[in-house]
């Protein structure tokens, strides 16, 4: 039925969503701003500056562009420290089987992450060569929930968006898939990922034939 499957990275392929959470939490707290898991759900899938804007909007003080860049840079340095120790053992359960299943079905495999650290993470996990196309986040003007990144992945793979299945853990990511005209598999909770066509609790439950 599908010609390609396009995966998100953070929170789908590996648990870097948790590292982003830890790094943003420390940053928010250093600015005296509230931060918890529920608020973090809104940040998942949103690019670095977009996430920072959402965090700073929780307070009343205004920040200059220079201050914002310094804060984003501090968060990224902490994040890069956290991912430095990652190894191939950090690929989440079920992911390698899912990639093999898609490959065996003769479908294209894409990666759509707005993270500028995506290539580093793929290399640390040792799985870059399992993707036919990895979108370069530096070339994406509009972060998820905008559909640009999933549409770009489909174009790079040479397939029509309607022939693509997208896999995402984020509310913004599922919106990006749906607005690209694709079918969405959410990884997480159905109460959170309300726009997903299918929801699985983890990648260990990914079965291509179910969608």
In the complex, minimum distance from the CB of residue 91 to Mg ion, in angstroms, rounded to a whole number: 15
Please say which residue, 107 or 117, places its beta carbon nearer to ligand G6P.
117
User: How many binding residues for Mg ion (CB under 5 A)?
Assistant: 5
DSSP string, 127-190: -GGG-SEE--GGG-SS-TTSTHHHHHHHHHHT--GGGEEEEESSHHHHHHHHHTT-EEEEES-T
Among 2, 4, 7, 11, the residue binding Mg ion under the rule CB under 5 A is 11
Which one of 40-48, 57-65, 94-102, 103-111 is the stretch in contact with ligand G6P (CB under 6 A)?
40-48
The answer to whether residue 97 is catalytic is no
Which of these is catalytic: 8, 136, 163, 179? 8
97 touches 131 (CB < 8 A): no
In the complex, minimum distance from the CB of residue 16 to Mg ion, in angstroms, rounded to a whole number: 8
Q: Does 20 bind ligand G6P (CB under 6 A)?
A: yes
Contacts of 168 (CB under 8 A, 6+ apart): 8, 12, 45, 174, 176, 177, 184, 185, 186, 187, 193, 196
163-202 positions binding ligand G6P, by CB under 6 A: 170
Q: Does 124 bind ligand G6P (CB under 6 A)?
A: no
Chain center to CA of 125? 15
Among 45, 110, 145, 166, the residue binding ligand G6P under the rule CB under 6 A is 45
Q: Distance of CA 94 to CAs 12, 18, 91, 200, Å?
A: 10, 18, 9, 12
Site for ligand G6P, rule CB under 6 A: 10, 17, 20, 43-48, 51, 76, 113-117, 170
């Amino acid at each position: 039925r599908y010609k390609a499957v396009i995966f998100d990275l953070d929170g789908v392929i590996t648990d870097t969503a948790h590292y982003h959470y830890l790094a943003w939490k420390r940053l928010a707290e250093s600015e005296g701003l509230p931060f918890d898991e529920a608020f973090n759900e809104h940040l998942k899938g949103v690019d670095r500056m977009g996430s920072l804007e959402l965090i700073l909007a929780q307070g009343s003080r205004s920040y200059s562009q220079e201050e914002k860049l310094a804060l984003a840079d501090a968060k990224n340095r902490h994040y890069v420290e956290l991912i430095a120790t990652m190894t191939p053992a950090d690929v989440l359960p079920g992911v390698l089987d899912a990639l093999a299943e898609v490959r065996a079905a003769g479908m294209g495999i894409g990666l759509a992450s707005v993270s500028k650290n995506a290539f580093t993470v793929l290399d640390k996990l040792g799985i870059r060569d399992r993707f036919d196309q990895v979108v370069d986040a530096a070339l994406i003007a509009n972060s998820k929930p905008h559909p640009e990144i999933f549409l770009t992945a489909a174009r790079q793979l040479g397939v029509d968006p309607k022939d693509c299945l997208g896999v995402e853990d984020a509310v913004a990511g599922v919106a990006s898939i749906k607005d690209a005209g694709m079918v969405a598999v959410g990884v997480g909770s159905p109460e959170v990922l309300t726009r997903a066509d299918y929801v699985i609790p983890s990648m260990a439950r990914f079965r291509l034939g179910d969608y």
